[in-house]
Amino acid sequence: MNESDKEIVDKCLEGNGHLYEILVTRYQKKIYNIAYRFTGSKEDALDITQEVFIKAYNSLRKYDPNYKFSSWILKITTNYCLDIKKKKRVETVELNLDLQNNDTTVSAENSYIYKENQKAIYDAINALPEKYRIIIILYHNQNQSYNEISKVLNLPLTKVKNRLYRARLMLKEELEGIRREESEWIVKKLQY
């Protein structure tokens, strides 16, 4: 039951394609969440997740067992995300906050602050250029190491590091901007 990813890939390649289900179950949450953080849309995230798994299955022979399956599928995911973003760059990202998922025991005020912070950071992430956004999601939300990201994105380690540093600063600036707008808004409100 607890077969390794590689064993399952081997079995799929021997003709037991139905076992691929196990790999989908193992990685769907990770991929769906990356795609969701990246696109800001649940609909797009669903499409991406499905397409990534189908693409991976159809090119299973290209999988190099010297690498982790999770890295390989992550690579397909990031390529796919960056690809579709290129295609629909002009469209603005619509944000869907799922507030139902939040802890219902927090007080109304706390939940309001939490919601505001979350929204601010979502906006800030979505405002980042793609190549920075993907790195900050992988590093800070998906706990991938520099080595892993460098492998997945096919970038030298120094470049990954530089982009992450720049991404953090951009995010900080976005947050700063949002805070400034908020306080201006409050000041305006107080003036009336």
Partner 1 sequence: MDCKKASILMMMFLDNTISESDKLRLQNHLEECNYCKQEFSLLLESINIIESIEEIEPPSKIKDTVMSRIDTNKYKEKSKTRLWILWITVIFSMTTGALAYLVFNNAVIVKEILIPLLIKFVNFVTLTLPVLLVKIEENFFVLMGVGMVIISMLLSSIIILVALQYYVTEKLEIKFRGGFKF
Q: Based on CB atoms, which residue is closest to partner 1, 152 or 164?
A: 164
Smallest distance from the beta carbon of 36 to partner 1, in angstroms?
Answer: 6
Which class for 139: exposed (0-12), middle (13-18), buried (19 or more C-beta within 10 A)?
buried
Binding residues (CB under 8 A) for partner 1: these are 12-18, 20-21, 24-25, 28-29, 32-33, 36-37, 42, 45-46, 49-50, 53-54, 57-58, 60-61, 98, 101, 117-118, 120-121, 124-125, 136-137, 140-141, 165, 168-169, 171-172, 174-176, 179
Smallest distance from the beta carbon of 191 to partner 1, in angstroms?
Answer: 25
The residue among 96, 80, 93 whose CA lies nearest residue 42 is: 96
Amino acid at 21: E
Structure tokens at 162: 């530089």
Q: Based on CB atoms, which residue is closest to partner 1, 90 or 103?
A: 103
Cβ(113)–Cβ(134) under 8 Å? no
